[in-house]
Structures are given as structure tokens and as C-alpha cells.
């Protein structure tokens, strides 16, 4: 095991904030992962599992060992004429994996193109975009159960996927380390999901009537590039908050004061776009010190000049939470994992 001490994590989080880990190691196999966990146990250190670092905010140095998962490899198992199970190890880059699937004409993940991060992290918050969540194509995942060191297979019903939620983020937080994820994909008769307004607009612009999975992937990439900052250039972690889901009664009261409030039904409740709430509070495009609210997507907080600390970003997010609470009586919840 290659151990690095007092290691800067700046290049390992898409917010590009500087924080140090007492120890840092990259693991390429299950054996190396076990070795790193044993090291943490022996030294009585806490550990942190790192994927692509695109959904974390480091507000302080990490006094323990950061274990970066680099397990790689993709395999396939044909199920029937129209289905295949494709399995990727946790350290595979998500977008490269989606590309692998779309190039081979395997359908199911194309709406999730260009989401940063690794395959192993995708079940944690049930990543979603443009009308699809991974739960829709999820088959199973192999995990290391840190309670007893066993390797288990979890199926969709075990994971309790919800909107940006699963057992991995909630009831069993920290228990399982995801080693690989399998998806059930179509090889011929694809279920094209093109109902999201922005996708329809893209397809209309290109005069595409019967989109292929590649067309959907390209449309999604174009939409994302038009409004989300590239984390290689501007530090950010995508949506900083979840879109709040509120009871219908609360929504009806709000609608009396805010006639044009956008809203979407979500089971028996109403989902309100947090980007709209934040924009209404005057934050969109605003910069305070080194931190800003993105001018094209108010839900994204940015490290404006690359000099922000995690604590500054956190304070900025607290100010947003306070003003949305004051104006709309809605409590925003952070989507990003704060350390």
C-alpha cells in the first residue's frame, strides 16, 4: 500500500478547495482496500472513501486516511435478445462508462451523460438527470460490508432508492463500500426518455423526430454544457441543494403570495425547484468574497476565483438557506456531502 502523508486534496475535489488528509492512499483491488481499512483500524484512524470528489465539500483538514477507490474494469452478461447486464467496477469514471454503453448501443443510461464522478458512487444518491435516475436501470451492486468484512450483493429492493437518496446515504450510511455496480440495459428495443422540456427543444432544433440513444446523449451533453460550469475550470459540486418537496397544503398557501411559483407533482407532494427560490431571493450571479452563485444556474455554488475555502462556501450556503427560509418558509437541504 502506497501511503502519502499530509496530502493536499485540492486536485481530488471538484470544488477545488484546499484541505489536507493526514494520510492518502489509492486502492486498485479489494485486497488493497482491505489493507487500507486494516491500517485505519490498527492506528485508530477514521477513514473516508473517495470517488471522483464531485459531491463533497471539505471544510477542514481530514485527520484520518482518505482511501481513493481506483478499482477498474467493465464486463457484460447477455440476458436475452433485448437485454444485457453491464457491470463496472467502482473506480470507473461515470461518463466514460455511459459513453461505453451508448457507443455499444446499450440503452438506459444515456440521459445521465456527463455527470461527473465514479460508477461506484452512482447509487449513493441515486444520481439523476433529465427524467431518469440510476434506479431505473440498476440491477445490483457488490459491496464490502464493513460490519463483518463480508462481500454482499444488494439488489434494487435492498437499496431503497429515492430522490437523491438511498440506504447508502441514509439508514446504512458508512456501512457499505460499493465495489461494483451492474445495470440492466436494452440492446435493441430502447425505451427512449425524451419528455424533459429541454431535451425536446434540443431535438426540435436539430429536427430529430425519432431520437436514438446517441441523439439523447448528445442533447443532454449540449444542455448541460450550456448551463452548468465545467468543474475543471470553475470549482463546484453541481446542485448544492436538493429541490425541496413540500405538502400540498403548504404549496397552496405559497401560491397565494407567489402566483408563478414553478412546481412538479412528486408522489402525494409538490417539488419546487430550489434554483427558482434562490433566484427569487436575489442570489443568482451574486459573488461574496471568493464564493458565488452561478449566473446561469442558481442551484450551483461556485469557487469563483479558485481561492475559496470550504468554510467560506459553507457559510455562503448557510446564508442562502436563511434567506430562502425567511422569504418562503422552506428549509433547503444540502445535497453535497460536507466534511
The answer to whether 20 and 7 have CB atoms below 8 angstroms apart is yes
Helix (H, G, I), strand (E, B) or coil at 38: helix
> Taking the alpha carbons of 200, 202, 207, 212 in that order, is the dihedral positive or negative?
negative
Indicate whether 279 belongs to the interface with ligand EPU (CB under 6 A): yes
Per CB under 6 A, the list member of 7, 23, 47, 276 interacting with ligand EPU is 276
Closest to 181 in 3D by CA, of 200, 164, 203, 156: 156
Per CB under 6 A, the list member of 121, 193, 234, 304 interacting with ligand FAD is 121
User: Least distance from C-beta 61 to ligand EPU, angstroms?
Assistant: 25
Indicate whether 262 belongs to the interface with ligand EPU (CB under 6 A): yes
Indicate whether 73 belongs to the interface with ligand EPU (CB under 6 A): no
User: Least distance from C-beta 61 to ligand FAD, angstroms?
Assistant: 16
Per CB under 6 A, the list member of 26, 99, 212, 273 interacting with ligand EPU is 273
Total chain residues near ligand FAD (CB under 6 A)? 32
Tell me the C-alpha distance between 168 and 184, whole Å.
20
For residue 66, list its beta bridge partners.
24, 48
Please report, as residue ranges, which positions from 126 to 185 form the binding site for ligand EPU (by CB under 6 A).
Answer: 129-130
Closest to 193 in 3D by CA, of 110, 97, 101, 105: 110
Whichever of 37 and 57 has its CB closer to ligand EPU, that residue is 57
Q: Which does 276 bind (CB under 5 to 8 A by kind): ligand FAD, ligand EPU, none?
A: ligand EPU
Q: Which helix (H) or strand (E) holds 148?
A: none
Closest to 63 in 3D by CA, of 1, 146, 5, 121: 5
Tell me the C-alpha distance between 26 and 128, whole Å.
27
Closest to 94 in 3D by CA, of 199, 271, 194, 224: 224
Task: Check if 335 is active-site.
Answer: yes
Task: Check if 164 is active-site.
Answer: yes
- Residues in contact with ligand EPU by the rule CB under 6 A: 129-130, 238-239, 242-243, 262, 273, 275-276, 279, 284, 297-299, 335
Provide the binding-site residues for ligand FAD, judged by CB under 6 A.
Answer: 14, 48-56, 69, 90, 115-118, 120-122, 124-125, 127-129, 177-178, 228, 231, 236-238, 337
- Residues serving a catalytic function are 164, 239, 335
Amino acid at each position: 500500500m502506497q501511503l502519502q502523508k499530509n496530502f493536499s486534496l485540492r486536485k481530488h475535489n471538484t470544488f477545488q478547495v484546499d484541505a489536507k488528509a493526514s494520510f492518502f492512499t489509492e486502492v486498485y483491488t479489494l485486497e488493497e482496500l482491505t489493507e487500507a481499512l486494516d491500517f485505519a483500524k490498527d492506528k485508530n484512524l477514521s477513514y473516508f472513501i473517495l470517488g471522483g470528489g464531485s459531491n463533497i465539500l471539505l471544510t477542514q483538514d481530514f485527520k484520518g486516511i482518505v482511501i481513493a477507490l481506483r478499482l477498474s474494469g467493465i464486463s457484460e452478461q447477455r440476458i436475452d435478445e433485448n437485454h444485457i447486464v453491464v457491470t463496472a467496477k467502482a473506480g470507473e469514471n461515470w461518463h466514460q462508462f455511459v459513453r461505453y454503453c451508448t457507443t455499444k448501443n446499450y440503452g438506459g443510461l444515456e440521459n445521465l451523460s456527463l455527470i461527473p464522478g465514479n460508477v461506484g458512487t452512482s447509487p449513493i444518491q441515486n444520481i439523476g438527470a433529465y427524467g431518469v435516475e440510476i434506479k431505473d436501470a440498476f440491477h445490483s451492486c457488490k459491496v464490502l460490508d464493513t460490519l463483518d468484512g463480508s462481500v454482499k450483493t444488494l439488489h434494487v429492493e435492498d437499496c431503497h432508492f429515492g430522490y437523491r437518496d438511498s440506504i447508502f446515504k441514509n439508514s446504512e450510511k458508512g456501512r457499505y463500500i460499493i465495489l461494483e455496480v451492474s445495470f440492466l440495459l436494452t440492446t435493441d428495443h430502447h425505451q427512449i426518455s425524451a419528455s424533459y422540456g429541454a431535451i425536446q427543444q434540443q431535438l426540435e432544433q436539430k429536427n430529430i423526430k425519432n431520437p436514438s440513444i446517441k441523439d439523447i446523449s448528445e442533447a443532454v451533453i449540449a444542455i448541460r454544457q450550456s448551463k452548468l460550469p465545467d468543474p475543471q475550470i470553475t470549482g463546484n459540486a453541481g446542485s448544492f441543494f436538493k429541490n425541496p418537496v413540500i405538502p400540498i397544503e403548504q404549496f397552496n398557501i405559497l401560491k397565494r403570495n407567489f402566483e408563478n411559483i414553478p412546481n412538479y407533482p412528486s408522489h402525494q407532494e409538490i417539488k419546487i425547484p430550489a434554483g427558482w427560490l434562490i433566484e427569487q431571493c436575489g442570489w443568482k450571479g451574486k459573488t461574496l468574497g471568493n464564493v458565488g452563485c452561478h449566473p446561469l444556474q442558481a442551484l450551483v455554488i461556485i469557487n469563483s476565483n479558485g481561492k475559496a475555502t470550504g468554510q467560506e462556501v459553507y457559510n455562503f450556503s448557510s446564508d442562502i438557506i436563511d434567506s430562502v427560509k425567511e422569504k418562503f418558509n422552506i428549509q433547503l437541504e444540502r445535497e453535497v456531502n460536507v466534511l
